[in-house]
A and B are shown apart, each in its own frame.
Chain A
Amino acid sequence: MALTTKQYGSIIAVVGITGAVAATSVALARAPFTEEELTQQMDALYAAAQKGYDIWHGSMPSMTTNGLACANCHPDTAASNPQTFPKYMTMYGKVVPWQEMVNWCIENPQLGERLDPDSEEMTAMKAYAMYLHRGKPIEPGLASRQTTPVVVEFGTGFKREPTGLGVDTREYEPDSNY
Chain B
Amino acid sequence: MAELESKSRRDFLSFAGKAGLSTLVAQAVGINLGVVDIVRAQTGKRGVDPFRFAIISDSHLYSIDNHKFDEQLITAVAQVNAMNPKPDFVVYGGDVAQNGTEDQLVKGKKILDSLSVPLKIIPGEHDWYLDMGGAWRGLFGEETWSFDHKGVHFIGMNSILVEDFWTGAGLSPKERMTVMEMLESPIPGPWGVHDKQLQWLADDIKGLAPDTPIVVFTHSPLWDYYPRWNFQTSDAPEIREILSKFENVMSYHGHVHQTLYNRIGNMSSVAAMSTSWPWPYPPVALAYPETQMNRADPSIATDGQGTQLIDLSADFEGLVQYKPFEDSLTPFMKEGFKV
- The answer to whether A and B assemble together is yes
Q: Which residues of B contact A72 (CB under 8 A)?
A: 277
Judge whether B182 and A57 touch: CB under 8 Å. yes
State the CA gap A75–B185 with chains docked (Å).
Answer: 9
Say whether B301 faces chain A, with CB atoms less than 8 Å apart: yes
Give 1 or 0 for each of A80-117: 1 = CB within 8 Å of chain B CB: 00000000001100000000000011001100000000
| Most A-side CB within 10 Å, residue of B68, B284, B299 | B299
Judge whether B295 and A152 touch: CB under 8 Å. no
Per a CB cutoff under 8 Å, which of B98, B184, B187, B283 touches A166? B187
Q: Which residues of B contact A109 (CB under 8 A)?
A: 277, 298, 301
Say whether B237 faces chain A, with CB atoms less than 8 Å apart: no
Judge whether A66 and B64 touch: CB under 8 Å. yes
Per a CB cutoff under 8 Å, which of A71, A73, A146, A163 touches B186? A163
Known contacts A72-B277, A79-B280, A148-B281, A165 near B301 by CB under 8 Å: no
Judge whether A152 and B179 touch: CB under 8 Å. no
* Chain A residue nearest to B257 in the complex (CB): A73
State the CA gap A146–B297 with chains docked (Å).
Answer: 10
**Contact residues of B between 154 and 208, Cβ < 8 Å to A:** 162-163, 165, 169, 171, 179, 182-184, 186-189
State the CA gap A146–B210 with chains docked (Å).
Answer: 42
Q: From residue A170, how far is it (CB to closest CB) to chain B in Å?
A: 9
Judge whether A71 and B184 touch: CB under 8 Å. yes
Judge whether B184 and A154 touch: CB under 8 Å. no
Per a CB cutoff under 8 Å, which of A91, A108, A164, A167 touches B188? A167
Judge whether B169 and A165 touch: CB under 8 Å. yes
Judge whether B228 and A166 touch: CB under 8 Å. no
Q: Which residues of A contact B162 (CB under 8 A)?
A: 166
Give 1 or 0 for each of B207-228: 1 = CB within 8 Å of chain A CB: 0000000000000000000001
Q: Which residues of B contact A79 (CB under 8 A)?
A: 280, 295
State the CA gap A37–B283 with chains docked (Å).
Answer: 33
Say whether B150 faces chain A, with CB atoms less than 8 Å apart: no
Q: Which residues of A contact B283 (CB under 8 A)?
A: 78, 148-151
* Chain A residue nearest to B169 in the complex (CB): A165
Q: Which residues of B contact A163 (CB under 8 A)?
A: 186-187
Judge whether A105 and B184 touch: CB under 8 Å. no
Judge whether A73 and B278 touch: CB under 8 Å. yes
Per a CB cutoff under 8 Å, which of B68, B281, B284, B301 touches A146? B281
Per a CB cutoff under 8 Å, which of A66, A78, A155 touches B68? A66
Give 1 or 0 for each of A106-134: 1 = CB within 8 Å of chain B CB: 00110000000000000000000000000
Judge whether A73 and B282 touch: CB under 8 Å. no
Judge whether B280 and A148 touch: CB under 8 Å. yes
Give the size of the chain A interface in residues (CB under 8 angstroms): 36
Say whether B62 faces chain A, with CB atoms less than 8 Å apart: yes
Q: From residue A164, how far is it (CB to closest CB) to chain B in Å?
A: 8
State the CA gap A42–B186 with chains docked (Å).
Answer: 22
Say whether A6 faces chain B, with CB atoms less than 8 Å apart: no
Judge whether A165 and B187 touch: CB under 8 Å. yes
Judge whether B184 and A152 touch: CB under 8 Å. yes
Judge whether A75 and B188 touch: CB under 8 Å. no
Say whether A168 faces chain B, with CB atoms less than 8 Å apart: yes
State the CA gap A148–B292 with chains docked (Å).
Answer: 14
Say whether B12 faces chain A, with CB atoms less than 8 Å apart: no
Judge whether B280 and A78 touch: CB under 8 Å. yes
Say whether A24 faces chain B, with CB atoms less than 8 Å apart: no
State the CA gap A81–B70 with chains docked (Å).
Answer: 29
* Chain B residue nearest to A78 in the complex (CB): B280
Q: From residue B97, how far is it (CB to closest CB) to chain A in Å?
A: 12
Judge whether A165 and B165 touch: CB under 8 Å. yes
Say whether B67 faces chain A, with CB atoms less than 8 Å apart: yes
Say whether B89 faces chain A, with CB atoms less than 8 Å apart: no
State the CA gap A146–B162 with chains docked (Å).
Answer: 31
Q: Which residues of A contact B301 (CB under 8 A)?
A: 108-109
Q: Which residues of A contact B294 (CB under 8 A)?
A: 144
Say whether A145 faces chain B, with CB atoms less than 8 Å apart: yes
* Chain B residue nearest to A145 in the complex (CB): B295
Q: Which residues of B contact A145 (CB under 8 A)?
A: 295
Q: Which residues of B contact A91 (CB under 8 A)?
A: 298-299
Give 1 or 0 for each of B49-71: 1 = CB within 8 Å of chain A CB: 00000000000001010011000
Per a CB cutoff under 8 Å, which of A73, A152, A154, A167 touches B277? A73
Q: From residue B320, how far is it (CB to closest CB) to chain A in Å?
A: 22
Q: Which residues of B contact A144 (CB under 8 A)?
A: 294-295, 297
12 contacts between A and B (CB under 8 A): A73-B277, A73-B279, A75-B183, A76-B184, A79-B295, A91-B299, A144-B297, A146-B281, A163-B187, A164-B169, A165-B169, A166-B187
* Interface, chain A (partner B; CB < 8 A): 57, 66-67, 71-76, 78-79, 90-91, 104-105, 108-109, 144-146, 148-156, 162-168
